[in-house]
Amino acid sequence: MGPLAGLRIIEIEGLGPAPFAGMMLADMGAEVISITRKSAPAGAPPRKDISERGKKSLALNLKSAEGVEVLLKLCESADALIEGFRPGVAERLGIGPEHCRARNAKLVYGRMTGWGQTGPLAHAAGHDLNYISLSGALHAIGRAGEKPVPPLNLVGDFGGGGMFLAFGVMCAIFEASRSGQGQVVDVSMVEGSAALMHMMYSFMAQGAWQDQRGSNMLDGAAHFYDTFETRDGKYVSIGAIEPQFYQLLIELAELDPQTFAPQMDPSQWPQLKAKLAEVIKTKTREQWCEIMEGSDVCFAPVLSMNEAPEHPHNVARQSYIDVGGVVQPAPAPKFERTAPQVQHPPHQAGADSEQLLAELGYNAESMAQLRERGVLT
Protein backbone atom coordinates (compact mmCIF):
# COMPACT_ATOMS: atom_id res chain seq x y z
CA MET A 1 0.00 0.00 0.00
CA GLY A 2 1.38 3.38 -0.97
CA PRO A 3 1.70 6.24 1.54
CA LEU A 4 -1.49 7.96 0.27
CA ALA A 5 -3.73 4.90 0.64
CA GLY A 6 -7.12 6.03 1.93
CA LEU A 7 -7.22 9.37 0.11
CA ARG A 8 -9.83 9.97 -2.59
CA ILE A 9 -9.00 12.45 -5.35
CA ILE A 10 -11.36 13.55 -8.11
CA GLU A 11 -9.64 14.57 -11.33
CA ILE A 12 -11.53 16.37 -14.08
CA GLU A 13 -9.95 14.89 -17.19
CA GLY A 14 -7.67 17.21 -19.11
CA LEU A 15 -4.42 17.18 -21.02
CA GLY A 16 -0.87 16.73 -19.80
CA PRO A 17 -0.03 18.24 -16.43
CA ALA A 18 -3.25 17.66 -14.44
CA PRO A 19 -3.40 13.95 -15.40
CA PHE A 20 0.28 13.71 -14.49
CA ALA A 21 -0.48 15.07 -11.02
CA GLY A 22 -3.31 12.55 -10.73
CA MET A 23 -0.94 9.77 -11.79
CA MET A 24 1.56 10.75 -9.12
CA LEU A 25 -1.14 10.62 -6.46
CA ALA A 26 -2.49 7.29 -7.75
CA ASP A 27 1.04 5.84 -7.80
CA MET A 28 1.29 6.71 -4.11
CA GLY A 29 -1.87 4.78 -3.30
CA ALA A 30 -4.62 7.39 -3.52
CA GLU A 31 -7.93 6.46 -5.13
CA VAL A 32 -8.04 8.78 -8.12
CA ILE A 33 -11.31 9.06 -10.04
CA SER A 34 -10.91 10.56 -13.49
CA ILE A 35 -14.05 12.26 -14.77
CA THR A 36 -14.05 11.81 -18.53
CA ARG A 37 -16.38 13.16 -21.18
CA LYS A 38 -17.24 9.94 -22.97
CA SER A 39 -16.92 6.19 -22.44
CA ALA A 40 -14.64 4.21 -24.72
CA PRO A 41 -16.52 2.34 -27.47
CA ALA A 42 -16.99 -1.40 -27.10
CA GLY A 43 -13.94 -3.31 -28.30
CA ALA A 44 -11.59 -0.33 -28.04
CA PRO A 45 -7.91 -1.31 -27.83
CA PRO A 46 -6.22 -1.10 -24.41
CA ARG A 47 -5.32 2.42 -23.37
CA LYS A 48 -1.64 3.32 -23.54
CA ASP A 49 -1.75 6.77 -21.98
CA ILE A 50 0.54 6.20 -19.02
CA SER A 51 -0.86 9.13 -17.04
CA GLU A 52 -4.12 7.17 -16.61
CA ARG A 53 -2.53 4.21 -14.83
CA GLY A 54 -3.98 3.34 -11.45
CA LYS A 55 -7.08 5.54 -11.87
CA LYS A 56 -10.78 4.77 -11.96
CA SER A 57 -12.77 6.31 -14.80
CA LEU A 58 -16.26 7.79 -14.71
CA ALA A 59 -17.81 9.08 -17.94
CA LEU A 60 -20.09 11.94 -17.07
CA ASN A 61 -21.87 14.75 -18.89
CA LEU A 62 -21.01 17.79 -16.80
CA LYS A 63 -23.19 20.01 -18.99
CA SER A 64 -26.26 18.35 -17.48
CA ALA A 65 -27.63 19.18 -14.03
CA GLU A 66 -27.80 15.49 -13.15
CA GLY A 67 -24.20 14.97 -14.17
CA VAL A 68 -23.14 17.87 -11.96
CA GLU A 69 -25.12 16.34 -9.11
CA VAL A 70 -23.22 13.06 -9.47
CA LEU A 71 -19.92 14.93 -9.26
CA LEU A 72 -21.05 16.90 -6.22
CA LYS A 73 -22.06 13.68 -4.48
CA LEU A 74 -18.59 12.31 -5.16
CA CYS A 75 -17.12 15.45 -3.57
CA GLU A 76 -18.86 14.58 -0.31
CA SER A 77 -16.43 11.69 0.25
CA ALA A 78 -13.37 13.14 -1.49
CA ASP A 79 -10.27 14.77 -0.06
CA ALA A 80 -9.50 16.86 -3.13
CA LEU A 81 -10.63 17.75 -6.63
CA ILE A 82 -8.17 18.84 -9.32
CA GLU A 83 -8.99 20.59 -12.59
CA GLY A 84 -7.20 22.43 -15.37
CA PHE A 85 -9.96 24.59 -16.88
CA ARG A 86 -9.51 28.21 -17.83
CA PRO A 87 -10.61 30.51 -15.00
CA GLY A 88 -14.40 30.64 -14.63
CA VAL A 89 -15.23 27.50 -16.61
CA ALA A 90 -15.80 25.29 -13.57
CA GLU A 91 -18.02 27.96 -12.01
CA ARG A 92 -20.15 28.13 -15.15
CA LEU A 93 -20.56 24.36 -15.06
CA GLY A 94 -21.66 24.53 -11.43
CA ILE A 95 -18.63 22.63 -10.11
CA GLY A 96 -16.48 25.50 -8.88
CA PRO A 97 -14.94 25.63 -5.41
CA GLU A 98 -17.98 27.07 -3.69
CA HIS A 99 -20.33 24.50 -5.24
CA CYS A 100 -18.09 21.60 -4.25
CA ARG A 101 -17.18 22.80 -0.78
CA ALA A 102 -20.84 23.37 0.03
CA ARG A 103 -20.99 19.56 0.10
CA ASN A 104 -17.68 19.04 1.92
CA ALA A 105 -16.02 21.82 3.87
CA LYS A 106 -12.71 19.93 4.04
CA LEU A 107 -12.44 19.49 0.27
CA VAL A 108 -9.22 20.83 -1.26
CA TYR A 109 -9.79 22.32 -4.71
CA GLY A 110 -6.68 22.21 -6.87
CA ARG A 111 -6.70 24.47 -9.92
CA MET A 112 -3.91 24.55 -12.48
CA THR A 113 -3.48 26.82 -15.45
CA GLY A 114 -0.50 28.27 -17.27
CA TRP A 115 -0.95 31.86 -16.18
CA GLY A 116 -2.80 31.39 -12.87
CA GLN A 117 -6.36 32.27 -11.88
CA THR A 118 -5.77 36.04 -11.87
CA GLY A 119 -3.72 38.62 -13.76
CA PRO A 120 -3.88 40.21 -17.22
CA LEU A 121 -3.17 36.92 -19.04
CA ALA A 122 -5.37 34.65 -16.92
CA HIS A 123 -7.95 34.04 -19.65
CA ALA A 124 -5.56 33.74 -22.60
CA ALA A 125 -4.70 30.44 -24.26
CA GLY A 126 -1.14 29.18 -24.01
CA HIS A 127 1.15 26.18 -23.81
CA ASP A 128 4.23 25.13 -21.84
CA LEU A 129 6.57 27.04 -24.16
CA ASN A 130 4.70 30.29 -23.52
CA TYR A 131 4.62 29.88 -19.75
CA ILE A 132 8.34 29.18 -19.41
CA SER A 133 8.96 32.16 -21.69
CA LEU A 134 7.37 34.42 -19.10
CA SER A 135 9.29 32.91 -16.16
CA GLY A 136 12.77 33.43 -17.63
CA ALA A 137 13.41 29.71 -17.86
CA LEU A 138 13.27 29.41 -21.65
CA HIS A 139 15.59 32.39 -22.17
CA ALA A 140 18.28 30.58 -20.17
CA ILE A 141 18.19 27.32 -22.14
CA GLY A 142 20.22 27.05 -25.33
CA ARG A 143 23.61 27.65 -26.91
CA ALA A 144 25.34 31.02 -27.03
CA GLY A 145 24.36 33.03 -30.09
CA GLU A 146 21.49 30.68 -30.88
CA LYS A 147 17.76 30.84 -30.18
CA PRO A 148 16.26 29.33 -27.00
CA VAL A 149 15.74 25.55 -27.10
CA PRO A 150 12.38 24.08 -25.98
CA PRO A 151 13.17 21.58 -23.16
CA LEU A 152 10.31 19.32 -24.34
CA ASN A 153 7.37 20.25 -22.09
CA LEU A 154 9.14 19.14 -18.92
CA VAL A 155 9.73 22.52 -17.29
CA GLY A 156 6.27 24.09 -17.56
CA ASP A 157 3.69 21.35 -17.86
CA PHE A 158 5.22 18.71 -15.63
CA GLY A 159 7.91 20.30 -13.43
CA GLY A 160 6.29 23.70 -12.93
CA GLY A 161 2.70 22.47 -13.28
CA GLY A 162 1.83 18.87 -12.45
CA MET A 163 4.38 18.43 -9.67
CA PHE A 164 3.43 21.73 -8.05
CA LEU A 165 -0.24 20.75 -8.26
CA ALA A 166 0.41 17.43 -6.51
CA PHE A 167 2.60 19.16 -3.91
CA GLY A 168 0.13 21.98 -3.32
CA VAL A 169 -2.85 19.66 -3.00
CA MET A 170 -1.05 17.47 -0.47
CA CYS A 171 -0.01 20.54 1.53
CA ALA A 172 -3.62 21.70 1.65
CA ILE A 173 -4.91 18.22 2.58
CA PHE A 174 -2.43 18.17 5.48
CA GLU A 175 -3.61 21.60 6.63
CA ALA A 176 -7.27 20.59 6.31
CA SER A 177 -6.62 17.62 8.59
CA ARG A 178 -5.82 20.17 11.31
CA SER A 179 -8.19 23.04 10.53
CA GLY A 180 -11.15 21.10 9.17
CA GLN A 181 -11.30 23.54 6.25
CA GLY A 182 -10.40 23.00 2.63
CA GLN A 183 -9.07 25.72 0.35
CA VAL A 184 -8.31 26.54 -3.25
CA VAL A 185 -4.82 25.77 -4.53
CA ASP A 186 -3.99 28.10 -7.44
CA VAL A 187 -1.14 26.60 -9.50
CA SER A 188 0.46 28.69 -12.23
CA MET A 189 2.98 27.07 -14.55
CA VAL A 190 4.69 30.44 -14.90
CA GLU A 191 5.24 30.56 -11.14
CA GLY A 192 6.12 26.88 -10.88
CA SER A 193 8.77 27.14 -13.58
CA ALA A 194 10.03 30.36 -11.98
CA ALA A 195 10.49 28.46 -8.71
CA LEU A 196 12.54 25.87 -10.59
CA MET A 197 14.87 28.75 -11.57
CA HIS A 198 15.57 29.72 -7.95
CA MET A 199 19.24 28.67 -8.04
CA MET A 200 19.96 30.70 -11.16
CA TYR A 201 18.37 33.75 -9.52
CA SER A 202 20.58 33.10 -6.48
CA PHE A 203 23.67 32.94 -8.68
CA MET A 204 22.66 36.12 -10.48
CA ALA A 205 22.20 37.95 -7.17
CA GLN A 206 25.70 36.84 -6.20
CA GLY A 207 27.19 38.06 -9.48
CA ALA A 208 27.87 34.50 -10.58
CA TRP A 209 25.36 34.24 -13.44
CA GLN A 210 25.09 36.16 -16.69
CA ASP A 211 21.57 36.72 -18.00
CA GLN A 212 22.69 35.43 -21.37
CA ARG A 213 22.36 31.78 -22.36
CA GLY A 214 25.39 29.73 -23.19
CA SER A 215 27.71 31.80 -21.02
CA ASN A 216 27.49 30.12 -17.62
CA MET A 217 28.88 27.06 -15.93
CA LEU A 218 25.60 25.11 -15.96
CA ASP A 219 24.19 26.11 -19.34
CA GLY A 220 26.72 24.42 -21.60
CA ALA A 221 29.38 27.10 -21.75
CA ALA A 222 31.89 25.28 -19.56
CA HIS A 223 33.99 22.49 -21.02
CA PHE A 224 33.56 20.39 -17.87
CA TYR A 225 29.75 20.52 -17.90
CA ASP A 226 28.39 19.54 -21.29
CA THR A 227 27.70 16.70 -23.68
CA PHE A 228 30.23 15.39 -26.19
CA GLU A 229 29.96 13.28 -29.33
CA THR A 230 31.79 9.98 -29.39
CA ARG A 231 33.44 8.16 -32.27
CA ASP A 232 30.30 6.13 -33.03
CA GLY A 233 28.06 9.19 -33.28
CA LYS A 234 26.60 8.79 -29.79
CA TYR A 235 26.99 11.12 -26.83
CA VAL A 236 28.24 11.20 -23.25
CA SER A 237 27.66 13.77 -20.52
CA ILE A 238 30.37 15.14 -18.27
CA GLY A 239 29.73 17.24 -15.16
CA ALA A 240 33.12 17.42 -13.44
CA ILE A 241 32.54 20.63 -11.48
CA GLU A 242 34.36 20.02 -8.21
CA PRO A 243 38.20 20.26 -8.38
CA GLN A 244 38.76 16.63 -7.36
CA PHE A 245 36.29 15.39 -9.97
CA TYR A 246 37.85 17.64 -12.61
CA GLN A 247 41.29 16.28 -11.75
CA LEU A 248 39.99 12.75 -12.21
CA LEU A 249 38.58 13.72 -15.61
CA ILE A 250 42.05 14.96 -16.62
CA GLU A 251 43.59 11.67 -15.49
CA LEU A 252 41.08 9.27 -17.03
CA ALA A 253 40.76 11.16 -20.32
CA GLU A 254 44.55 11.54 -20.41
CA LEU A 255 44.36 15.30 -20.85
CA ASP A 256 47.36 17.59 -20.51
CA PRO A 257 47.21 18.90 -16.91
CA GLN A 258 48.88 22.19 -17.73
CA THR A 259 46.61 22.96 -20.66
CA PHE A 260 43.47 22.14 -18.68
CA ALA A 261 44.61 23.78 -15.43
CA PRO A 262 42.48 27.00 -15.74
CA GLN A 263 39.20 25.20 -15.04
CA MET A 264 37.24 28.21 -13.82
CA ASP A 265 38.50 30.79 -16.31
CA PRO A 266 35.55 31.41 -18.65
CA SER A 267 37.83 32.98 -21.24
CA GLN A 268 39.50 29.57 -21.63
CA TRP A 269 36.30 27.51 -21.85
CA PRO A 270 35.78 27.65 -25.65
CA GLN A 271 39.26 26.40 -26.54
CA LEU A 272 39.30 23.81 -23.75
CA LYS A 273 35.92 22.51 -24.86
CA ALA A 274 37.19 22.12 -28.42
CA LYS A 275 40.22 20.17 -27.17
CA LEU A 276 38.11 17.95 -24.92
CA ALA A 277 35.66 17.32 -27.75
CA GLU A 278 38.53 16.10 -29.93
CA VAL A 279 39.62 13.66 -27.22
CA ILE A 280 36.13 12.32 -26.53
CA LYS A 281 35.58 11.69 -30.24
CA THR A 282 38.55 9.30 -30.38
CA LYS A 283 36.59 6.56 -28.59
CA THR A 284 33.12 5.05 -28.78
CA ARG A 285 30.51 5.68 -26.13
CA GLU A 286 30.96 2.16 -24.80
CA GLN A 287 34.72 2.63 -24.50
CA TRP A 288 34.24 5.81 -22.50
CA CYS A 289 31.75 3.99 -20.29
CA GLU A 290 34.38 1.37 -19.55
CA ILE A 291 36.83 4.11 -18.59
CA MET A 292 34.62 6.54 -16.67
CA GLU A 293 31.22 5.13 -15.74
CA GLY A 294 30.90 4.57 -12.01
CA SER A 295 33.86 6.84 -11.25
CA ASP A 296 33.77 10.27 -9.62
CA VAL A 297 34.23 12.05 -12.94
CA CYS A 298 30.46 12.69 -12.89
CA PHE A 299 29.92 10.89 -16.17
CA ALA A 300 27.02 9.14 -17.87
CA PRO A 301 26.19 7.93 -21.36
CA VAL A 302 23.41 9.88 -23.05
CA LEU A 303 20.80 7.16 -23.47
CA SER A 304 17.84 7.16 -25.81
CA MET A 305 14.34 6.47 -24.50
CA ASN A 306 14.68 2.91 -25.76
CA GLU A 307 18.07 2.44 -24.12
CA ALA A 308 17.30 3.90 -20.69
CA PRO A 309 15.14 1.02 -19.37
CA GLU A 310 17.91 -1.45 -20.24
CA HIS A 311 20.76 0.27 -18.39
CA PRO A 312 22.06 -1.94 -15.56
CA HIS A 313 21.57 0.76 -12.91
CA ASN A 314 17.95 1.34 -13.94
CA VAL A 315 17.36 -2.41 -14.09
CA ALA A 316 18.82 -2.93 -10.62
CA ARG A 317 16.56 -0.27 -9.12
CA GLN A 318 13.52 -1.24 -11.21
CA SER A 319 13.33 2.35 -12.39
CA TYR A 320 11.24 1.26 -15.38
CA ILE A 321 8.41 -1.26 -15.33
CA ASP A 322 6.08 -3.00 -17.75
CA VAL A 323 2.40 -2.29 -17.15
CA GLY A 324 -0.03 -3.92 -19.52
CA GLY A 325 2.69 -4.43 -22.11
CA VAL A 326 3.84 -0.79 -21.99
CA VAL A 327 7.35 -0.04 -20.72
CA GLN A 328 7.21 3.10 -18.60
CA PRO A 329 8.87 4.94 -15.70
CA ALA A 330 8.09 3.34 -12.35
CA PRO A 331 6.44 5.27 -9.50
CA ALA A 332 8.90 7.57 -7.76
CA PRO A 333 10.22 8.22 -5.18
CA LYS A 334 10.75 4.95 -3.32
CA PHE A 335 9.65 4.46 0.29
CA GLU A 336 11.06 2.19 2.97
CA ARG A 337 7.72 0.75 4.18
CA THR A 338 4.77 2.04 2.18
CA ALA A 339 5.98 1.04 -1.26
CA PRO A 340 4.16 2.83 -4.08
CA GLN A 341 3.00 0.77 -7.02
CA VAL A 342 0.88 1.03 -10.13
CA GLN A 343 -2.50 -0.21 -8.94
CA HIS A 344 -3.57 -1.35 -12.41
CA PRO A 345 -3.10 -0.47 -16.11
CA PRO A 346 -5.16 2.42 -17.51
CA HIS A 347 -8.86 1.62 -17.38
CA GLN A 348 -10.97 2.27 -20.43
CA ALA A 349 -12.76 5.63 -20.28
CA GLY A 350 -15.96 5.12 -18.31
CA ALA A 351 -15.07 1.60 -17.18
CA ASP A 352 -15.83 2.32 -13.51
CA SER A 353 -19.00 4.39 -13.97
CA GLU A 354 -21.45 1.79 -12.68
CA GLN A 355 -19.32 0.78 -9.70
CA LEU A 356 -18.82 4.37 -8.59
CA LEU A 357 -22.49 5.28 -8.99
CA ALA A 358 -23.52 2.17 -7.08
CA GLU A 359 -21.32 3.37 -4.21
CA LEU A 360 -23.25 6.65 -4.30
CA GLY A 361 -26.57 4.81 -3.96
CA TYR A 362 -27.74 4.65 -7.57
CA ASN A 363 -29.40 1.36 -8.51
CA ALA A 364 -29.45 -0.35 -11.91
CA GLU A 365 -32.73 1.29 -12.93
CA SER A 366 -31.62 4.81 -12.05
CA MET A 367 -28.30 4.27 -13.88
CA ALA A 368 -30.16 3.09 -16.96
CA GLN A 369 -32.26 6.25 -16.84
CA LEU A 370 -29.13 8.40 -16.54
CA ARG A 371 -27.75 6.69 -19.64
CA GLU A 372 -30.95 7.30 -21.56
CA ARG A 373 -30.82 10.99 -20.67
CA GLY A 374 -27.16 11.28 -21.72
CA VAL A 375 -25.85 11.90 -18.20
CA LEU A 376 -23.67 8.79 -18.22
CA THR A 377 -21.92 9.05 -21.54
Read off the pLDDT of residues 259-289 as tens digits, 9 standing for 90 and up.
999 999 999 999 999 999 999 999 999 999 9
Q: What are phi and psi of 318, to 5 degrees?
A: 55, 45
Amino acid letter, 211 = D
Evaluate whether 322 touches 282 at the Cβ level (below 8 Å).
Answer: no
Evaluate whether 36 touches 60 at the Cβ level (below 8 Å).
Answer: yes
Q: What is the mean pLDDT of residues 354-368?
A: 95
Q: What is the dihedral of CA 150, 156, 158, 164, to 10 degrees?
A: 160
Of 27, 128, 157, 352, the active-site residue reads 157
d(CA 180, CA 202): 37
Q: pLDDT grade, residue 19 (50/70/90)?
A: very high
Evaluate whether 161 touches 135 at the Cβ level (below 8 Å).
Answer: no
Percent above pLDDT 70 for the chain: 100
Q: What is the pLDDT of residue 15?
A: 85
Of 127, 139, 186, 311, the active-site residue reads 127
Active-site residue, 157 included? yes
Q: How do residues 186-224 score in pLDDT, each as one tens digit? A: 999 999 999 999 999 999 999 999 999 999 999 999 999
Q: Is the pLDDT of residue 1 over 90?
A: no
d(CA 110, CA 112): 7
Q: Is the pLDDT of residue 52 over 90?
A: yes
Q: What is the pLDDT of residue 65?
A: 96
Spell out the domains of the chain, with CATH numbers in brackets.
8-196+321-372 (3.40.50.10540), 225-315 (3.30.1540.10)
Residues in the chain: 377
Q: What is the pLDDT of residue 261?
A: 97
The DSSP annotation for 262-327 comes to -TT-GGGHHHHHHHHHHHHTTS-HHHHHHHHTTSTT-EEE---TTTGGGSHHHHHTT-EEEETTEE
Q: What is the mean pLDDT of residues 95-101?
A: 98
238, 227, 223, 236: which is closest to 272 by C-alpha?
223
Q: What is the pLDDT of residue 75?
A: 98
Active-site residue, 99 included? no
d(CA 194, CA 170): 21
d(CA 156, CA 370): 39
Burial of 364 (0-12, 13-18, 19+ CB in 10 A): exposed
Indicate the range of 34-43, 101-110, 132-141, 231-240 predicted with least confidence. 34-43
Geometric angle at alpha carbon 37, from 32 and 38, rounded to 5°:
105
